[in-house]
């Protein structure tokens, strides 16, 4: 990506093993993320371009001398942040804060919208899986969006005892619905305006859909909940009005879990949240931590999170993929390298 709206597919040198913990992974599926649209709208032009993409499914092609857990030929999920797997944060399941990688460093690795990835810290990062091509779309969601939706539902405390609202009908929002259902929630209100998306949300478990936003949306959710709002609000947008909406629909004593990347630095966290004992949680999802838990349902066909991909394009048409998502003509675009 060179500038807002300017996405080009170029020939780049193949990556090579640089550290003994590296693996080279030939990607079989990758995609465009809703968060990629933020720079697509507002990045500072960069004449050298920025390598994009962070969701990967691929086949190991070569491994460095220290790699013990994967071999060439293995199908692997590559979480969107890399992690060593052995530091205290990784062991606690907060791989996003890994001391050797996480959000601190990509260790020189390039983006996922490519043919080949150099995956650093392969033993801690890559997750080997055995599955046929019909599962590829769902497996790819474990690289980011499904794990991110699950992070929202888990940190938000979704359960059979809670009423849950999900703000945002993008892929993460819809998979937050699926995750809340998985954690037992029986009443799930999805806030979104795109009927084809909210229809999929209903299939994932949403019991109510609210298309209104702002004060009207708050009013509608409050009416659905006897005036009180929801115990758990999963905010999967990232813009300040979405957070303000979350504050407006959360029940006293409730929890807001944010998984949309905040496009703001300051926000309302004063006396009104304090008086109502509202907890604000969530964050960048350590998706690596959730694969053990989420994979079985995909492999046995209980869930099909890959349905969030409604358009598939060859990697060479990545620019068209961005444009379709930007125009809301695609929910999420899968790319085939």
Which residues, numbered 307-336, are part of the site for a second copy (CB under 8 A)?
A: none
> In this structure, what are the phi and psi dihedrals at residue 55, rounded to the nearest 5 degrees?
-125, 125
* C-alpha to C-alpha distance for 185 and 207, rounded to whole angstroms: 10
Q: Tell me which stretch binds a second copy (CB under 8 A): 86-94, 115-123, 192-200, 204-212.
A: 86-94
Give the residue with the Cβ less far from a second copy, 80 or 204: 80
In the complex, minimum distance from the CB of residue 171 to a second copy, in angstroms, rounded to a whole number: 18
Based on the shown chain and the rule CB under 8 A, indicate whether residue 274 belongs to the binding site for a second copy. Answer: yes
Where are any strands of DSSP class E within 7-141?
23-31, 56-63, 75-78, 116-119, 127-128
Stretch that binds a second copy, among 5-13, 67-75, 92-100, 132-140 (CB under 8 A): 92-100
Which C-beta is closer to a second copy: that of 65 or that of 275?
A: 275
* Residue 145 engages a second copy in binding (rule: CB under 8 A): no
Which of 283, 297, 304, 336 contacts a second copy by CB under 8 A? 283
Structure tokens at 7: 């996405």
Is 111 near a second copy (CB under 8 A)? no
Burial of 175 (0-12, 13-18, 19+ CB in 10 A): buried
- Report the residue count for the chain: 337
CB of 43 to a second copy, least distance (A): 15
* Cβ contact 294:178 at 8 Å: no
CA atoms within a 13 Å half-sphere pointing along the CA-CB vector of 135: 19
Token pair 């979480």 is found at 79
| Among 277, 293, 296, 316, interactor with a second copy by CB under 8 A | 277
Q: Which of 60, 56, 75, 53 is nearest to 26 (CA)?
A: 60
Residue 89 C-beta: closest distance to a second copy, Å: 7
* Residue 127: C-alpha distances to residues 60, 203, 227, 250, 289 (Å): 11, 28, 45, 36, 10
**Binder of a second copy out of 35, 83, 97, 245 (CB under 8 A):** 97
What does each C-alpha distance from 37 to 7, 53, 208, 298 come to in angstroms? 11, 11, 28, 27
Residue among 75 and 230 whose Cβ is closer to a second copy: 230
**What minimum distance in Å lies between the beta carbon of 12 and a second copy?**
28
Q: Contact between 155 and a second copy (CB under 8 A)?
A: yes
Q: How far is the CB of 226 from a second copy (least distance, A)?
A: 10
Note whether 194 and 200 are within 8 A (CB): no
155 has which bridge partners?
none
Q: Which of 135, 258, 307, 332 binds a second copy (CB under 8 A)?
A: 258
Give the residue with the Cβ less far from a second copy, 157 or 217.
Answer: 157
Q: How many angstroms separate the CA atoms of 191 and 185, rounded?
A: 16
Confirm or reject binding of residue 236 to a second copy (CB under 8 A). no
130 binds a second copy per the rule CB under 8 A: no
Sign of the CA dihedral with 233 first, then 236, 238, and 242 last = negative
Shortest distance, position 54 Cβ to a second copy, whole Å: 14
According to CB under 8 A, which one of 279, 299, 317, 326 is a site residue for a second copy? 279
Burial degree of 263 (CB within 10 A; 0-12, 13-18, 19+): middle
Segment contacting a second copy by CB under 8 A, of 51-59, 188-196, 269-277, 322-330: 269-277
Which of 67, 117, 224, 278: binder of a second copy (CB under 8 A)?
A: 278
Q: Which residues bind a second copy (CB under 8 A)?
A: 89, 92, 94, 96-97, 103, 155, 243, 252-253, 258, 261-262, 264-271, 273-284, 286
């Amino acid at each position: 990506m060179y500038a807002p709206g300017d996405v080009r597919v170029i020939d780049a040198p193949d990556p090579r093993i640089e550290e003994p913990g590296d693996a080279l992974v030939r990607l079989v599926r990758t995609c465009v993320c809703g968060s990629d649209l933020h720079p697509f709208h507002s990045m500072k032009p960069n004449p050298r371009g920025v390598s994009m993409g962070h969701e990967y499914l691929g086949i190991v092609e070569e491994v460095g001398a220290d790699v013990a857990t994967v071999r060439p030929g293995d199908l692997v999920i590559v979480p969107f942040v890399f992690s060593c797997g052995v530091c205290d944060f990784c062991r606690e399941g907060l791989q996003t804060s890994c001391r050797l990688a996480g959000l601190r460093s990509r260790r020189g690795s390039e983006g996922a919208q490519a043919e080949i990835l150099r995956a650093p810290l392969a033993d801690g990062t890559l997750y080997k899986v055995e599955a046929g091509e019909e599962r590829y779309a769902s497996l790819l969601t474990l690289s980011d969006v499904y794990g991110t939706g699950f992070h929202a539902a888990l940190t938000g405390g979704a359960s059979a005892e809670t009423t849950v609202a999900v703000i945002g009908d993008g892929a993460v929002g819809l998979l937050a619905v699926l995750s809340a259902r998985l954690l037992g929630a029986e009443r799930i209100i999805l806030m979104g305006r795109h009927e084809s998306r909210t229809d999929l949300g209903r299939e994932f478990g949403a019991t109510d859909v609210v298309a209104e936003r702002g004060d009207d949306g708050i009013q509608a959710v409050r009416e659905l909940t006897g005036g009180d709002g929801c115990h758990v609000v999963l905010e999967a947008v990232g813009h300040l009005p979405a957070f303000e909406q979350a504050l407006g629909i959360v029940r006293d004593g409730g929890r807001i879990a944010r998984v949309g990347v905040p496009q703001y630095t300051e926000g309302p966290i004063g006396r009104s949240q304090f008086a109502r004992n509202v907890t604000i949680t969530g964050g960048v999802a350590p998706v690596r931590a959730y694969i053990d838990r989420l994979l079985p349902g995909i492999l046995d066909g209980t869930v099909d999170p890959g349905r969030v991909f409604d358009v598939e394009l060859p990697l060479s048409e990545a620019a068209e993929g961005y444009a379709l998502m930007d125009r809301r003509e695609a929910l999420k675009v899968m790319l085939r390298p």
